[in-house]
Amino acid sequence: MAYLLHTSDTHLGFRQYHLDDRRQDFADAFSEVITSAIEHDVDAVVHAGDLFHTSRPGITPLQTLLTELQRLQRADIPFLLIVGNHERTHDRNWVELLVEVDLATRLDAEGTRIDDTTIYGLDYVPPGQRDRLDYQFDAPQTDSAILVGHGLFKPFGHGDWSTQRILAESPVDFDLMLVGDDHGADYRLVSRNISDVDSDRGSANSKTDTNSEQGAATSSSRERIPISYAGSTERTKADQRDPRTYSLVTVPADGDVDAQEHIDRRVIESAREFVYVDVPLERGDGIETVERTIREEIDTLDRAVLKVTLMAAEDDPPVPEPIDASDDTAEQAVQERIPVGPIENLGTELGALVTRVSDRRDLLEDEREYQAVEFADVDAAVEERRQDIVVTEAADQLLEMAMNTDQFIDSGMADTAQETVTALLERESPEAFHVDKTDAPDDAIESGPADYASGTTSRAAGDSDDVGNEELLEEALEELND
């Protein structure tokens, strides 16, 4: 019997809402998972992809990872992982480095034996490249076998990767799939038979028919096997309302895995609290109604993230379209916009770390008349402004890259920006990114640091003391990504 901890989508280094607090939250959640693995003395930690939030993580998330993996190493617990879409690069990635320094094992088609179970890995593959996959896994040395994958798999309703095809084309009879990419924890039963179309329709539901007597019978006969998402360890989006989790998984020696009996969901207690307030609004309701509803539901937030959703009241009947469209007196069936600023201010007053607002109503179109607006040539305007400011050589390279974004595909812009800034920091000292005030125009100095370039940041030279490469890198990437 193998006893495993299954986790995924830890997204270490994610500075959500541009806050260091949120980056620390992701680190704390990962630390809790590792602590649980040690306390439960599992045979291995299985990570199903998206260890980091970017393929070029900074020093801080790297230090977090090394500290936690060293704790696992001292406890003699192997860390097994695959490459998720956030780790994918065209060259070497951090997963390979972790393997080289003996802090992790990369799961692949050869399989890794843990106790009496062989565990295989299937890295994330973009949808356009999946038709070329052959799913040829080596024969296991054990009676039970697990496949760890990263992607949106069928029969989940949002799935775009055929689990049935994987199982049908693989020479290995897998008993369980532990997967990542979907940030919600859930499981389904999937048929080994590719002709069984029902299992790829997404109709199976872990809370309904998979818990029926028939579902249990097919599972025990291994005609269907569980495929299970562990969920993300922290919320990467405010609308992820379910608790954040990981799973403790028991794999019997014969591989007969029953999802209800052998997959134990555990809630991550250290995950930052997200407080959700849904505000139903009738026509004519305004910001006062929103503020009153929030105050009725919340006394204090204690640094929680506040998510406010504005929605039309259920008992608010639709108003029929006016027969005469020119009749301005006719009542309209849509609602007026609610300003976001006062809601965010109220969240701050109540102690929120940050407040996010979504408006799900049908809103009135803005019918105000505007004068014609003529836009100047952007490139020409930037070039003209460059003549009036002092720009370091390093900053000039970054400006060129920011202006010529058509040279890069959108999906690769962040990686290109990070690689460029990292290369500059390796060649140049931090001082190369700051302009000496004595070299700047008088009007630039008088107008303050926001009006003249200082490389990758807008701070004045006098504020550049004790600024390290890591901070420069983060600030540069934020500016370029914005």
DSSP string, 388-422: TS---HHHHHHHHHHHTGGGS-HHHHHHHHHHHHH
Q: Which of 267, 298, 328 is the last residue of a domain?
A: 267
- Does 94 share its domain with 211? yes
For residues 322 and 436, state if they share a domain: no
3-state secondary structure of 105: strand
* Same domain (yes/no): 127, 220: yes
Residues 65 and 118 in one domain: yes
Asked if residue 369 is part of any domain, the answer here is no
| Burial class for 50, CB neighbours closer than 10 Å (0-12, 13-18, 19+) | buried
The reported pLDDT for the residue numbered 113 is 97
Residue 165 lies in a domain: yes
Q: Are 7 and 64 members of one domain?
A: yes
pLDDT on residue 463: 45
In a domain, 429, yes or no: yes
Query: The domain containing residue 348 runs over which residues?
Result: 274-359
Q: How many domains does the chain have?
A: 3
Q: Are residues 263 and 282 in the same domain?
A: no
Does any domain span residue 476?
A: yes
Whether 403 and 346 map to the same domain: the answer is no
User: 31 with 129, same domain?
Assistant: yes
Reported as a pLDDT band with limits 50, 70 and 90, residue 330 is very low
- Comparing 44-48, 166-170, 227-231, 391-395, which segment has the lowest mean pLDDT? 391-395
Residue 366 belongs to a domain: no
Q: Is residue 457 part of a domain?
A: yes
Q: Distance between CA atoms of 45 and 167, rounded to whole angstroms? A: 23
What average pLDDT does the chain have? 80
Say whether pLDDT at 48 is over 80.
yes
231 shares its domain with 318: no
Domain assignment of residue 373, yes or no: no
pLDDT greater at residue 227 or residue 412? 227
What residue type is assigned to position 35 of the chain?
T
pLDDT of residue 274: 97
Both 300 and 397 in a single domain? no
Pair of tokens at residue 385: 């402004």
Ranges 25-39, 196-210, 413-427: which has the least confidence: 196-210
In this structure, of 229-238, 372-381, 453-462, 473-482, the range with the lowest mean pLDDT score is 453-462
Residue 28: Cβ-neighbour burial (10 angstroms; 0-12, 13-18, 19+): middle
Q: Higher model confidence: residue 337 or residue 201?
A: 337
Q: Given 216, 249, 267, which residue is the final one in a domain?
A: 267
Query: Is 90 an active-site residue?
Result: no
Residue 142 and residue 7 in one domain: yes
Sheet of 263-267: strands edge to edge? 105-106, 79-81, 44-47, 2-7, 245-251, 263-267
Indicate which residue of 11, 47, 53, 86 is catalytic.
Answer: 86
- Domain with residue 155: its CATH number is 3.60.21.10
Cα–Cα distance for residue pair 474/93, rounded to 1 Å: 20
Domain end marker among 219, 237, 267: 267
Minimum mean pLDDT range among 88-102, 229-243, 357-371, 460-474: 460-474
Whole-angstrom Cα distance, residue 433 to residue 130? Answer: 44
pTM above 0.85, yes or no: no
Phi and psi dihedrals of 144, rounded to 5? -110, 150
Residue 433 covered by a domain:
yes
Residues 6+ apart with CB under 8 A from 24: none
68 and 190 share one domain: yes
Can you give the pLDDT at residue 401? 65
Give the separation between CA 391 and CA 406, rounded to whole angstroms: 23
The token pair that represents 251 in the structure block: 């794999």
Contact at 8 Å (CB) between 254 and 143? yes
